[in-house]
Amino acid sequence: MHIKQASLAVTLLATFGANALAQTPGPTQRQLCPPSNALSAPLTYPVTKKVDQTDNYFGTVVADPYRWLEDANSAETRQWVDAQNLVTQSYLAQIPARAAIKQRLTSLWNYERYSVPYKEGGRYFYSRNDGLQNQAVLYTMNKIDDTPRVLLDPNTLAADGTVALSGTAVSPDGKLLAYGTAASGSDWNEWRVRDIETGKDNDDVIRWVKFSSTAWTKDGKGFFYSRYDEPKEATKLADANYNHKVYYHVVGTPQSADTVVYDRPDQKAWLLGAQVTDDGRYLLINASNGSARTNAVFIKELNKPGAKVAPLFDKFDAGYHFVDNDGARFYFTTDNNAPKSRLIAVDLAAPSADKWKTLVAESGQTLQSVSMLNRQFVAQYLADAHSMVKIFNRDGKAVRELKLPGLGSVAGFNGKKGDSETFYSYTGFTTPATIYRLDLKNSASTVLRQPKVDFDPSAFETRQQFFTSRDGTKVPMFIVAKKGLKLDGSNPTYLYGYGGFNISLTPSFSAANIAWMEMGGVYVLANLRGGGEYGEAWHDAGTKLQKQNVFDDFLGAAEWLIANKVTSPAKLAIGGGSNGGLLVGAAITQRPELFGAAIPAVGVMDMLRFQKFTIGWAWVSDYGSSDDAEQFKALYKYSPLHNLKAGACLPATMITTADHDDRVVPAHSFKFAAAAQAAQGSSNPVIIRIDTKAGHGAGKPTDKQIEEVADRWGFLTKALKM
């Protein structure tokens, strides 16, 4: 989300045993780099063959010698993966602290975790993990204080816990549960239908579902969902996904009988999602063009025979998010003429923009979402990357602000417009997600479930720090550490960022980060441009031709931490996943001297070819595309794979990916690892950790999560000389 000049193709050895290992660059080349953090002799890596593959981008010839690693199913690639994992696991196994770290992580992870309850058809539903279960279990009960009953336990679906619950939808009468599962972390889902009273599954099986919501009709006879055509089995984890379609499934019938409700063969890139209003009268279809913030909304009257799907907002000029409706009066949040969003009312009889009524105007905080509850609007905001909740009446007049425990993050507030109760969670860096019941009649919050974790939260402190980026922009970051932090530059520090796709990073609890801080580490979360913390202008400033702003913000955070003696380059590690993996890759190719270690996870490393795989084309809205001459220049300038230089003084680097990642295909990490190992001019290790039966991250079993974090912190104890 990369490479150097092509060389003559080298024959790949048939096996990847010890005799197939190549030394890192020789002593003369390594002497060009400053002393490294490495505590042992240079590693040897599997020989990775190069091929004479080049591409011509608008007159610029770009070599891609590791193109063959894009074929994850080939015997050669599988041999390469096995050989790289052997090197990595051998290296990690020799780290003395790793076993103790894993033991402490297991203790910290062993606490009850709950989802926010919701109510449908007279029943309550929530999920719970008792601590070390690989997957959370779904429960139901008739009253909120009843003894819960297990409705679905995903841990029984696969012995190794690699089948996860990916989504649920309860029928309006509370009798049926539609649920999706994902195997080994793949984005491909299968949906089934369970009788809630008996706990037994019907015969319904819905396949090839991806990026889909599920919406029941009011009568509970069936539901809408979105899917792709059946892919080729051998390449289903890599092929580009196009032509999303909305279907309707009648319970008790085969999938082959499902009817297409909406598709757009003229717009193969559209992603389509269906939603039914609570009154059952309308079907809303949301259409997004990839990952762009803008979307279209179409509507169909379900109670009118022969009614067609008609456009409501179809200009793709802004984002429109449905809140609720009173008959033909609809409520949406939108950033149309409001970069930080506003709440509007739209009359279906006169839906033109000049007829909209603004109920809650744009403010200084970023409006994230709105729910209609107790016939009021409950609005969630971000203020400097932490949550605020405000309640407004039906006319948009402010009623009150909900008091929260501190600078943290909230989620929930689900329900229907007539509900006088709702539930939400609150979390912070040292506060595990606590579930609250909110009585909307008096705005009183009471704790419903409060986890107990084996650590002392009073031993830590959080502060928010603003720093100045390269172009003068003020950027916030959170710094979390044990109290009494000495500013002498000696603190091992882990700087984490993302910076993309309008996604906001806010305070949240992590057992992994508690373990890191107990070890004496400092955890830093940077709120970079490209995210959604300050609305669309903040997001837009980190996209396409302005993407370098994101990297400059991240580098600015590192420079501030060093200048203010929180840490020093030899003690500073950086991490990020997916788009954050790109961030880390760009940081170490642009300013390797700033860092002692780097962990890019499931990263987009080849910025010239990301759009060729699975859903990668959808990211063009944020990144641009190498198919455009001007955008190619910008991408080529920062693409991590293409900016590795021979003899580079890279910090100790552990790249992580997974064999079933069909979001950011593992070829990104494979190619970057091969190129980085060949380019490395210091004795710092460059290893790649390739997980099996795992994907981009969602649904990863608890035991795999603990293993991965133990490897991460273990790697850093050695790299940062902790």
Number of domains, the chain: 2
pLDDT in tens, 556-593: 999 999 999 999 999 999 999 999 999 999 999 999 99
560 and 507: one domain?
yes
Res. 234: pLDDT tops 90: no
pLDDT band at 32 (very low <50, low <70, confident <90, very high): low
Q: pTM of the predicted model, to two decimals? A: 0.92
Domain membership of residue 401 (yes or no) is: no
Of 578, 625, 669, 683, catalytic: 578
| Listed residue (654, 709, 716, 718) closest to 522, CA to CA | 716
Q: Which of 5-14, 95-104, 183-192, 513-522 has the lowest mean pLDDT?
A: 5-14
Q: What is the pLDDT of residue 36?
A: 56
224 and 244: one domain?
yes
Rounded CA gap, 362 and 536, in Å?
12
Domain membership of residue 466 (yes or no) is: yes
Q: What is the pLDDT of residue 21?
A: 26
Rounded CA gap, 688 and 603, in Å?
12
Res. 14: pLDDT tops 60: no
Rounded to 10 deg, the angle between the 548-563 and 629-638 helix axes is 20
73 and 147: one domain?
no
3 or 356: which leads in pLDDT: 356
Given the structure tokens 């273990």, which residue do they identify?
A: 714
Size (the chain), residues: 722
92 and 118: one domain?
no
Query: What does the mean pLDDT of the chain come to?
Result: 93
Rounded CA gap, 383 and 397, in Å?
20
| Listed residue (428, 380, 392, 388) closest to 404, CA to CA | 388
Q: What is the CATH number of the domain that holds 235?
A: 2.130.10.120
Q: What is the pLDDT of residue 275?
A: 97
Res. 270: pLDDT tops 70: yes
Burial class (CB in 10 A: 0-12, 13-18, 19+), 486: exposed
237 or 682: which leads in pLDDT: 682
Q: How many CB atoms lie within 10 A of CB 649?
A: 18
pLDDT in tens, 372-416: 999 999 999 999 999 999 999 999 999 999 999 999 999 999 999
Q: Which of 78-92, 442-456, 685-699 has the lowest mean pLDDT?
A: 685-699
Mean pLDDT, residues 646-675 taken together: 94
Rounded CA gap, 196 and 8, in Å?
63
534 and 632: one domain?
yes
pLDDT band at 625 (very low <50, low <70, confident <90, very high): very high
Mean pLDDT, residues 79-96 taken together: 96
Q: What is the pLDDT of residue 702?
A: 95
**Enclosing domain of residue 258:** 112-276
pLDDT band at 31 (very low <50, low <70, confident <90, very high): very low
Q: Is 539 a residue of the active site? A: no
CB 281 within 8 A of CB 295: no
625 or 7: which leads in pLDDT: 625
Domain membership of residue 435 (yes or no) is: no
pLDDT in tens, 440-488: 999 899 999 999 999 999 999 999 999 999 999 999 999 999 999 999 9
Residue where one domain finishes, among candidates 276, 306, 330: 276
Q: What is the pLDDT of residue 692?
A: 81
52 and 140: one domain?
no
Rounded CA gap, 682 and 679, in Å?
9
Rounded CA gap, 257 and 253, in Å?
7
Res. 286: pLDDT tops 80: yes
Domain membership of residue 316 (yes or no) is: no
Domain membership of residue 144 (yes or no) is: yes
623 and 513: one domain?
yes
Res. 28: pLDDT tops 90: no
DSSP letters along 556-600, please? HHHHHHHHTTS--GGGEEEEEETHHHHHHHHHHHH-GGG-SEEEE
Q: How many CB atoms lie within 10 A of CB 249?
A: 23
182 and 258: one domain?
yes
Of 2, 244, 321, 696, catalytic: 696
Domain membership of residue 283 (yes or no) is: no
**What Cα–Cα distance (Å) separates residue 435 from each residue in 341, 424, 514?**
27, 6, 20
CB 527 within 8 A of CB 385: yes
Hey, which bits of 582-670 come out as E strands?
597-601, 652-658
The strand pairing partners of 337, in sequence order, are none
Domain membership of residue 98 (yes or no) is: yes
Res. 180: pLDDT tops 50: yes
497 and 619: one domain?
yes
123 and 195: one domain?
yes
CB 382 within 8 A of CB 366: yes
CB 388 within 8 A of CB 365: yes
Q: What is the pLDDT of residue 290?
A: 85
Q: 3-state DSSP call for residue 443?
A: coil
DSSP letters along 511-547, please? HHHHHHHHTT-EEEEE--TTSSTT-HHHHHTTSGGGT
Q: What is the pLDDT of residue 23?
A: 28
Residue where one domain finishes, among candidates 276, 306, 340: 276
638 and 710: one domain?
yes
Given the structure tokens 């994992």, which residue do they identify?
A: 85
CB 144 within 8 A of CB 167: no
Residue where one domain finishes, among candidates 250, 276, 302: 276
664 or 526: which leads in pLDDT: 526
Return the CA Rg of the chain: 26
Q: Is 321 a residue of the active site? A: no
pLDDT band at 34 (very low <50, low <70, confident <90, very high): low
Q: What is the CATH number of the domain that holds 592?
A: 3.40.50.1820
What is the bridge-based pairing of β-strands 310-313 and 295-301?
antiparallel
Q: 3-state DSSP call for residue 713?
A: helix
Tokens matching residue 8: 């003559």
Tokens matching residue 576: 């990020």
Tokens matching residue 425: 């969670």
Domain membership of residue 389 (yes or no) is: no
Q: How many CB atoms lie within 10 A of CB 487?
A: 10
How many CA atoms are closer than 13 Å to the CA of 330, on its beta-carbon side?
27
Res. 80: pLDDT tops 80: yes
Q: How many CB atoms lie within 10 A of CB 590?
A: 17
183 and 263: one domain?
yes
